[in-house]
Amino acid sequence: MKTARHAGEWLEADGLGGFASGPANGIRSRRYHALLLHASAPPSGRMVLVNGVEAWWEGPDGAVALSTHHYAPDTLHPDGTQRIVGFHTDPWPTWRFALPGGMHLLHDIFAAGDSGDVILRWWLVPAAGAAAGTAADAVRALPDTPGADDAGPAGDGYRNSARSGRLFVRPLLSVRDYHALHRRNDAFDFTPAGANGRISWRPYAHRPAVSALSNGVYRHAPEWFERFLYDDERERGLDAVEDLASPGIFSFDLDCDPAADPSRDAAGEQTASCAALLILRAGDSRDVHVARRVAGAERDRRGERQRRAAAAVTARGAAIGALSNAAGQYFAERGQGATLLAGFPWFTDWGRDTFISLRGLALATGRENQAAAILREWATTVSEGMLPNRFPDEGSTPEYNSVDASLWFIVALHAYLLTGHATPATRDILQGAAERILDGYHGGTRFGIGAGADGLLHAGEPGSQLTWMDARVGLTPVTPRIGKPVEIQALWINALRIGATWNPRWQPLAERAQAAFAGRFVDPASGALHDVVDVDGVAGTVDRSVRPNQILAVGGLPFQVVDDATARAVVAVVERELWTPLGLRTLACADPRYIGRYTGPPESRDSAYHQGTAWLWLAGPFIEAWLRVHARGANAEAARAEARARFVAPLDAHLREAGLGHLSEIADGDAPHTPRGAPFQAWSLAERLRIETLL
604-645: per-residue pLDDT in tens? Answer: 999 999 999 999 999 999 999 999 999 999 999 999 999 999
Rounded Cα distance between 668 and 233, Å, is: 18
Peptide bond between residue 345 and the one before it cis (omega within 30 degrees of 0): yes
**Residue 463 falls inside a structural domain:** yes
Q: If residue 654 lies in a helix (H) or strand (E), which one and from where to where?
A: helix 649-654
Whether residues 439 and 531 share a domain: the answer is no
Parallel/antiparallel/unpaired status of strands 680-681 and 337-340:
unpaired
If one compares 4 and 487, the residue with the highest pLDDT of the two is: 487
Last residue of a domain, one of 557, 577, 597: 577
Full residue range of the structural domain in which residue 252 is found: 9-300
Q: How confident is the model at residue 377 (pLDDT cuts 50, 70, 90)?
A: very high
Rounded Cα distance between 417 and 376, Å, is: 12
Q: How confident is the model at residue 147 (pLDDT cuts 50, 70, 90)?
A: low
Hey, which of 281-285, 290-294, 303-307, 431-435 has the most confident mean pLDDT?
A: 431-435
Rounded Cα distance between 228 and 309, Å, is: 39
Show Cβ contacts of residue 687 under 8 Å, excluding neighbours closer than 6 positions.
356, 360, 616, 617, 618, 619, 620, 621
> Among 259, 285, 258, which residue's Cα sits nearest to residue 272?
258
Whether residues 437 and 545 share a domain: the answer is no
Q: 640: buried, middle or exposed (CB in 10 Å: 19+, 13-18, 0-12)?
A: middle
Tell me the pLDDT of the chain averaged across its residues. 90
Least confident of 79-88, 160-169, 193-202, 490-499: 160-169
Peptide bond between residue 143 and the one before it cis (omega within 30 degrees of 0): yes
User: Is residue 236 predicted with pLDDT exceeding 70?
Assistant: yes
If one compares 18 and 147, the residue with the highest pLDDT of the two is: 18
**Residue 2 falls inside a structural domain:** no
User: Is residue 670 predicted with pLDDT exceeding 90?
Assistant: yes
Least confident of 90-104, 388-402, 423-437, 538-552: 388-402
User: Is residue 263 predicted with pLDDT exceeding 80?
Assistant: no
Average pLDDT over residues 113-124: 90
Hey, which of 115-129, 311-325, 416-430 has the most confident mean pLDDT?
A: 416-430
- CB-CB contact of 53 with 169 (8 Å): yes
**Residue 307 falls inside a structural domain:** no
**Residue 589 falls inside a structural domain:** yes
Whether residues 545 and 600 share a domain: the answer is no
pLDDT given for residue 128 in this prediction: 62
pLDDT given for residue 254 in this prediction: 87
User: Is residue 572 predicted with pLDDT exceeding 80?
Assistant: yes
pLDDT given for residue 286 in this prediction: 74
pLDDT given for residue 264 in this prediction: 35
User: Is residue 269 predicted with pLDDT exceeding 50?
Assistant: no
> Among 136, 112, 143, 178, which residue's Cα sits nearest to residue 27?
136
Q: How far is CA 534 from CA 463, 518, 537, 566, 682, in A?
A: 17, 15, 5, 21, 33
For the chain, give the percent of residues with pLDDT over 70. 89
**How many C-alpha atoms does 354 have within 13 Å on its Cβ side?**
33
Q: If residue 240 lies in a helix (H) or strand (E), which one and from where to where?
A: none
CA angle, residues 40, 42, 44, in degrees to nearest 5? 75
Last residue of a domain, one of 528, 550, 577: 577
pLDDT given for residue 515 in this prediction: 98
Whether residues 251 and 363 share a domain: the answer is no
pLDDT given for residue 160 in this prediction: 42
**Residue 311 falls inside a structural domain:** no
Show Cβ contacts of residue 166 under 8 Å, excluding neighbours closer than 6 positions.
57, 58, 59, 251, 252, 253, 254
Whether residues 562 and 484 share a domain: the answer is yes
Average pLDDT over residues 402-415: 98
Q: How far is CA 116 from CA 113, 135, 210, 425, 532, in A?
A: 6, 30, 12, 33, 46
User: Is residue 134 predicted with pLDDT exceeding 70?
Assistant: no
Whether residues 211 and 77 share a domain: the answer is yes
For the chain, give the percent of residues with pLDDT over 90. 79
Q: How confident is the model at residue 652 (pLDDT cuts 50, 70, 90)?
A: very high
Parallel/antiparallel/unpaired status of strands 579-580 and 34-41:
unpaired
- CB-CB contact of 457 with 533 (8 Å): no
If one compares 306 and 350, the residue with the highest pLDDT of the two is: 350
pLDDT given for residue 257 in this prediction: 53
Rounded Cα distance between 467 and 102, Å, is: 59
The number of beta carbons lying within 10 Å of the beta carbon of residue 389 is 23
Q: How confident is the model at residue 321 (pLDDT cuts 50, 70, 90)?
A: confident
The number of beta carbons lying within 10 Å of the beta carbon of residue 42 is 20
Determine if residue 252 is left, alpha or beta; phi over 0 gives left, psi from -120 to 50 gives alpha, anything else beta. beta
Whether residues 72 and 143 share a domain: the answer is yes
> Among 118, 121, 113, which residue's Cα sits nearest to residue 150?
121
pLDDT given for residue 156 in this prediction: 35
Q: Where are the beta strands (DSSP E) in 182-272?
A: 192-195, 198-201, 210-214, 217-229, 241-253
- Angle between the 424-443 and 368-379 helix axes, to the nearest 10 degrees? 40
Total of domains in the chain: 4
Supply the CATH number for residue 199's domain: 2.70.98
Least confident of 284-288, 407-411, 552-556: 284-288
- Angle between the 682-694 and 619-630 helix axes, to the nearest 10 degrees? 20
**Residue 3 falls inside a structural domain:** no
pLDDT given for residue 216 in this prediction: 95
Q: 388: buried, middle or exposed (CB in 10 Å: 19+, 13-18, 0-12)?
A: buried
> Among 494, 476, 475, which residue's Cα sits nearest to residue 486?
494
The alpha-helical segments, DSSP class H, found in 229-317 are: 231-235, 290-316
Rounded Cα distance between 558 and 552, Å, is: 10
The C-alpha R_g of the chain, in whole angstroms, comes to 26
DSSP 408-473: HHHHHHHHHHHTT---HHHHHHHHHHHHHHHHHHHH--GGG-EE-TTSPEEB--TT---SS---EE
Least confident of 40-49, 263-272, 308-317, 475-484: 263-272
Last residue of a domain, one of 528, 547, 577: 577
Whether residues 590 and 564 share a domain: the answer is no
If one compares 127 and 539, the residue with the highest pLDDT of the two is: 539
Q: How far is CA 633 from CA 107, 244, 544, 636, 637, in A?
A: 53, 63, 33, 6, 9
User: Is residue 423 predicted with pLDDT exceeding 70?
Assistant: yes
pLDDT given for residue 47 in this prediction: 97
pLDDT given for residue 144 in this prediction: 42
Whether residues 499 and 521 share a domain: the answer is yes
Tens-digit pLDDT profile for residues 195-229: 878 999 999 999 999 999 999 999 999 999 999 99
Whether residues 265 and 134 share a domain: the answer is yes
Determine if residue 101 is left, alpha or beta; phi over 0 gives left, psi from -120 to 50 gives alpha, anything else beta. left
**DSSP-based three-state secondary structure for 87:** strand
Average pLDDT over residues 265-293: 71
User: Is residue 603 predicted with pLDDT exceeding 90?
Assistant: yes
**Residue 641 falls inside a structural domain:** yes
Whether residues 289 and 369 share a domain: the answer is no
pLDDT given for residue 137 in this prediction: 38
The number of beta carbons lying within 10 Å of the beta carbon of residue 124 is 29
Rounded Cα distance between 229 and 242, Å, is: 7
Q: How confident is the model at residue 115 (pLDDT cuts 50, 70, 90)?
A: confident
Show Cβ contacts of residue 307 under 8 Å, excluding neighbours closer than 6 positions.
none
Whether residues 78 and 201 share a domain: the answer is yes
User: Is residue 309 predicted with pLDDT exceeding 80?
Assistant: no
**Residue 656 falls inside a structural domain:** yes
User: Is residue 45 predicted with pLDDT exceeding 70?
Assistant: yes
